[in-house]
């Protein structure tokens, strides 16, 4: 059973400001690719929706690695880089 935890609420106000300093809000349509191996390294927080993390190979096959949910953090800084 998955328990929803808003990790930002666990940070002090000072650390929350430090983490979000310089951040932007971006809304992506369903099916959009939010990050690819050529993208700059970023971290993100999901405010709404679901993110599927997957690996792909040149012949087009894909394998789902993880699903990220509301209030979870992900991105290249968390090992989501493609080799």
Query: 53 has which bridge partners?
Result: 66
What does the pLDDT read at residue 13? 94
Q: Which helix (H) or strand (E) segment is 20 a member of?
A: helix 13-20
The pLDDT tens digits of the residues spanning 4-52 come to: 777 788 889 999 899 889 888 999 999 898 877 777 888 888 888 999 9
Q: Where are the domains of the chain?
A: 1-25+41-83
Q: Quick check: 79 pLDDT over 60?
A: no
Distances (CA, A) of 7 to 20, 42, 45, 70: 13, 18, 10, 10
pLDDT given at position 72: 84
H/E element holding 15?
helix 13-20
User: Closest Cα to residue 19, out of 46, 48, 45?
Assistant: 45
What's the pTM value of the predicted model, to 2 decimals? Answer: 0.68
pLDDT band at 59 (very low <50, low <70, confident <90, very high): very high
Contact 53, 80 (CB under 8 A): yes
């Amino acid at each position: 059973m998955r328990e929803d935890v808003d990790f930002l609420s666990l940070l002090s106000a000072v650390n929350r400001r430090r983490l979000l300093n310089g951040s932007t809000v971006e809304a992506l349509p369903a099916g959009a690719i939010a990050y690819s191996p050529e993208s700059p390294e970023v971290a993100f927080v999901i405010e709404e929706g679901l993110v599927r993390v997957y690996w792909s190979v040149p012949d087009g096959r894909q394998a789902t690695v993880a699903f990220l949910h509301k209030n979870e953090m992900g991105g290249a800084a968390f090992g989501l880089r493609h080799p």
